[in-house]
Chain A
Amino acid sequence: MSMKIGAEKFDERVQEGLSDTFMRGAVSSAQTRFRNGRLNAAEELGGWEEWRNLGEEIRTHTLENIDYYLDLLSEKVAERGGHVYFAQTAEEANNYITNVVKKKEAKKIAKSKSMVSEEIGLNDALKDIGAEVVETDLGEWILQNDDVDPPSHIVTPALHKNREQIREVFHDKLGYSKTDKPEELALFAREKLREEFLDADIGITGCNFAVADTGTVTLVTNEGNARMVTSLPDTQITVMGMERVAPTWNDMEVLVSLLTRAAVGQKLTSYITSLTGVKEEDDVDGPEEFHLVIVDNGRSKILGTEFQSALHCIRCAACINVCPVYRHIGGHAYGSIYPGPIGAVLTPLLGGYEDHKELPYASSLCGACTEACPVKIPLHELLIRHREKIVEEKGEAPVFENISMKAFGMGTASPTMYNIGTKLAPKVMKPMVKDEVISKGVGPLKSWTTARDFPAPGKQRFRDWYKKRQREES
């Protein structure tokens, strides 16, 4: 898998999403749960707006000084016996990691959840060299067993599946024979996964935050699987997007506080694992060999542009959890492992407009995402910036739209043109009006009236009424 998922066109994916009532039911109830959880957790903490400001400040400062903090991070990791590798591209990252695997002659790899590893297609690269990879995050494990179904959410990757469907996957692929009760399903997964941990030669993890001034990698999970992945195998490889750095332990704490609350409405998740370097003499566990792979893969091109704030993202999915578009079409429709509002912003930046040009338009610009984001990324504004780029720099807007917007510019900058246009509107629309509404529109009104009626223009424009009234008064 890489960042892009599925080969169908955007419209087809949307149709598929819209007609999947199971998925829509699952997504809608999860959204309600997550949203309420976030609001309650924020209220309980108090001063949420100040926390958000602090989060924004930390992220802005970090990204403005990203070179410095990445240098510091790699220096500290090296001091504690770890190896650091900067990968410009997905390929470089995969090559480095597969080389480590080959050198260790590792057969089995236990992996905890990592979006960036999906982005670079790491599992496929590992498979190509004959290594067996086991996803240990429950959601990822379900998807892996379902013929590598792509994730549809960045925190709960199997959100699109309900428990009957999960039971089916377990039953068909793993011989599970019990019910679809969540506890029974989880117990089954736990038992199966435990065997895998013990067998694994290498553990691969993602990274929520890497603390620059101590060289610490922090992982936030609810299942404790990341802890197993980092403590049982002898070798640990951590893959991180280059923006995932936090200057100090204190900054990391603020970001974790925002993350767990914004993501799932928890004060803390069940497990927060912070790991510094390799196992030392007095340590009971930890890896003997540690590699930190820092992935660029298009990120540094975003630095210094109007999109820089997209790199502030802490992958909490709060924006996804409030997005009404996501609710109806689901994650797969975005055609990227990064769905929802942040996906619509980030995917075209990392993967180009060519493959993802519809995404910036998949939003009513309602601003729910911007309001929810714990680090205050102006998501809806960034979507407008994308549209601006598509229209004005790439000139890729549809011809009809282009003409009407040019007409709009002329018509609204000149009162005379506006006057003519608005006077004309009722005449143009008149033939379509029936019982005071338009139920079957033509041209641009057609798609509007498939779903709803359009009002007939008033008999008199407001401005004509107003003029007449003034004349009568004087």
Chain B
Amino acid sequence: MKVSLFITCLSDIFYGDVGKDTVELLEKLGCDIDFPEAQTCCGQPAYNSGYVSDARKSMKHMIEVFEHADYVVTPSGSCATMFTEYPNVFKGDPKWEDRAIALADKTYELTQFIVHVLQTEDVGAAYHAKATYHTSCHMSRLLNEREAPLKLLEQVEGLELVSLPNAHDCCGFGGTFSVKMPEISEQMVAEKAKHVDEANADILIGADCGCLMNIGGRISRENKPVKVMHIASILNRQG
């Protein structure tokens, strides 16, 4: 099965390992990876800040870049959500609406793709640790995917999952929100870090680099020992 990877800018620049793990994991599961080099960003930072016409430029570009793909897979619930929003952004646009719908229809967040398309829950991973999982907002509420990551994690050998208090709460990232309203964002991430602390886990797992960068940054600032990891890196760990 040919899978076109949308790596996301955060992972491309800051979290290359997440990209590597995603590639290796998908290959292990029998996929052929295609990485369209012309890809850039899904447009979310501009779109969510109200710069809709600037965002449209990158969106059109991304529609073209992935037009040939059978499946578009990305290790980010938030960026996947943005792709699925494209049809709304181009509603009524004769040239772009259908193409936006086509892209949205074939886009999957990584764990979603593994569970729903590849129909796999046990990827043969092993990781010995006590872990808690951060439910990212866009993935759970807008993409409506809550189960897939947990199903996959439950099958990881040696991984003990403990619940995160107030897991439904946003970590306070919100893209440009974190720098536009820094005081409020700080309180939110501090609260999240406190809950992570209460979970008493060795690692915090998430499916979105944005949230992990935010929570991880706070945990590092507080000098806490909790390790922050993307789910792709757990699932790619062999027993």
Residues of A within 8 A of B (CB): 14-15, 18, 324-325, 328-329, 361-368, 370-371, 384, 386-392, 397, 401, 405-406, 408-415, 418, 422, 425-426, 437, 439, 444, 447-448, 450-458, 460-463, 465-467
Asked whether A422 lies within 8 Å of B13 as measured between CB atoms, the reply is yes
Asked whether B141 lies within 8 Å of A371 as measured between CB atoms, the reply is yes
Q: Does B179 contact A (CB under 8 A)?
A: yes
Complex: A60 Cα to B177 Cα, angstroms:
31
Asked whether A415 lies within 8 Å of B182 as measured between CB atoms, the reply is no
- CB contact under 8 A between A364 and B177, given known A324-B188, A452-B220: yes
Q: Does B100 contact A (CB under 8 A)?
A: no
Residue of B nearest to A458 (CB): B16
* A-binding segment of B43-51, B105-113, B124-132: B43-51
14 A-B contacts, Cβ less than 8 Å apart?
A365-B177, A366-B174, A388-B51, A408-B51, A409-B54, A412-B40, A412-B58, A448-B179, A450-B182, A452-B214, A453-B220, A454-B217, A455-B15, A467-B37
Asked whether B182 lies within 8 Å of A451 as measured between CB atoms, the reply is yes
Residue of A nearest to B64 (CB): A413
- CB contact under 8 A between A439 and B13, given known A361-B181, A364-B174: no
Q: Does B117 contact A (CB under 8 A)?
A: no
Complex: A200 Cα to B186 Cα, angstroms:
49
Asked whether A388 lies within 8 Å of B35 as measured between CB atoms, the reply is no
- CB contact under 8 A between A405 and B141, given known A414-B61, A422-B9, A463-B12: no
Complex: A97 Cα to B212 Cα, angstroms:
56
Residue of B nearest to A391 (CB): B50
Complex: A439 Cα to B220 Cα, angstroms:
10
Asked whether A451 lies within 8 Å of B177 as measured between CB atoms, the reply is no
A-side contacts of B80, CB under 8 Å = none
Number of A-B contacts (CB under 8 A): 200
Residues of B within 8 A of A (CB): 7, 9, 11-20, 23, 35, 37-41, 43, 45-55, 57-58, 60-61, 137-138, 141-142, 168-170, 172-191, 213-214, 216-218, 220-221
Complex: A308 Cα to B61 Cα, angstroms:
32
- CB contact under 8 A between A405 and B170, given known A328-B188, A413-B60, A462-B12: no
- CB contact under 8 A between A452 and B46, given known A361-B180, A411-B40: no
Asked whether A412 lies within 8 Å of B61 as measured between CB atoms, the reply is yes
Asked whether A455 lies within 8 Å of B213 as measured between CB atoms, the reply is yes
- CB contact under 8 A between A368 and B170, given known A422-B9, A463-B37: yes
A-side contacts of B51, CB under 8 Å = 388, 391-392, 397, 405, 408-409
A-side contacts of B13, CB under 8 Å = 422, 425-426, 457-458, 461-462
| A contact patch SS | helix
Asked whether B40 lies within 8 Å of A451 as measured between CB atoms, the reply is no
Complex: A363 Cα to B19 Cα, angstroms:
30
Asked whether B48 lies within 8 Å of A370 as measured between CB atoms, the reply is no
The winner among A414, A425, A448 for most chain B CB atoms within 10 A is A448
9 smallest beta-carbon distances between A and B, as pairs:
A364-B174, A387-B50, A409-B54, A452-B217, A366-B170, A412-B58, A462-B19, A451-B186, A447-B182
Complex: A413 Cα to B185 Cα, angstroms:
29
- CB contact under 8 A between A448 and B182, given known A412-B41, A463-B12: yes
Chain B: minimal CB distance from A72 (Å)? 33
Chain A: minimal CB distance from B89 (Å)? 10
The one of A14, A444, A457 that contacts B179, using a Cβ cutoff of 8 Å: A444
A-side contacts of B173, CB under 8 Å = 364
Complex: A365 Cα to B173 Cα, angstroms:
9
Chain A: minimal CB distance from B36 (Å)? 9
- CB contact under 8 A between A391 and B49, given known A329-B184, A462-B11: yes
